């Protein structure tokens, strides 16, 4: 049975597609059969990124397909080891379905309250339904150089009752340049940036393994 990771956000510009593509690249590099379901039918950010990746001949190949609805994407899940649901850059009626279908739900967020507040409110809304809080994890993206700001964001998420990934993606031009070339955040020209992205990915891998073992028990 396929594993499903949902990557969602309440607003755009917080690194959602960056995280989705990062996860897909790392699992594909480990010889998993991975598919990103790009559910942003207006912008198709991940789909366009895949085009640049193919044009530049970058390995491993990361499969991306656009879907109009979550249900259409879920129909192909059984044909893959991992399906990543890259949600639209705002909460929609399909966001709840993504959350329900996913084994792990990643909420990328910036550190400002303008990013944190809507993200936490979205998490609260989902947990009021049938979504377990333990499968929600926050990923800090576009992090600046202030350790105090990061610490305050961590405290905010913890006080809201949610987990966060210890790794984070700093705000760096190198990540944007890599994306422009069709590369993931672990494929920049800078070893330090790749290491930061790898730490974030490892946290997602560890979290998914933990949830999978719990489900199988």
pLDDT of 129 reads 84
**What is the pLDDT, as a whole number, of residue 217?**
63
Structure tokens belonging to residue 171: 């705000």
Predicted model pTM: 0.96
Bridge partner residues of 137 (DSSP): 106, 163
Average pLDDT, the chain: 95
What pLDDT does residue 12 have? 84
Q: CA dihedral in degrees (125, 130, 134, 135; nearest 10)?
A: -90
Give the tens place of pLDDT for each residue, 72-128.
999 999 999 999 999 988 777 789 999 999 999 999 999 999 999 999 999 999 999
CA atoms within a 13 Å half-sphere pointing along the CA-CB vector of 180: 6
Question: Measured between alpha carbons, how far is 149 from 215 in angstroms, rounded to an integer?
Answer: 35
Which whole number is the average pLDDT over 5-30?
95
Q: Which structural domains are found in the chain, ordered by start?
A: 3-216 (3.40.50.300)
Q: Nearest 5°: CA angle at 142, between 94 and 114?
A: 60
Tell me 182's DSSP state: T
pLDDT for res 118: 95
């Amino acid at each position: 049975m396929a594993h499903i990771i949902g990557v969602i956000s309440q607003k755009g510009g917080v690194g959602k597609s960056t995280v989705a593509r990062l996860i897909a690249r790392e699992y594909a590099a480990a010889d998993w059969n991975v598919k990103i379901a790009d559910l942003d039918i207006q912008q198709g950010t991940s789909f366009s990124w895949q085009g640049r990746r193919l044009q530049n001949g970058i390995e491993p190949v990361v499969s991306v397909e656009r879907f109009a609805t979550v249900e259409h994407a879920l129909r192909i899940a059984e044909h893959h080891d991992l399906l990543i649901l890259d949600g639209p850059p705002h909460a929609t009626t399909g966001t709840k379905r993504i959350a329900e279908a996913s084994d792990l739900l990643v909420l990328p967020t910036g550190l400002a309250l303008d990013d944190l507040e809507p993200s936490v409110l979205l998490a609260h809304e989902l947990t009021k339904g049938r979504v377990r809080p333990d499968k929600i994890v926050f990923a800090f993206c576009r992090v600046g150089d202030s350790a105090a700001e990061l610490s305050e964001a961590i405290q905010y998420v913890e006080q809201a009752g949610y987990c966060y990934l210890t790794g984070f993606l700093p705000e760096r031009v190198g990540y944007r340049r890599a994306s422009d070339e069709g590369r993931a955040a672990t494929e920049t020209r800078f070893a330090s940036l790749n290491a930061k992205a790898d730490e974030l990915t490892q946290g997602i891998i560890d979290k998914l393994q933990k949830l999978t073992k719990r489900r199988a028990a």
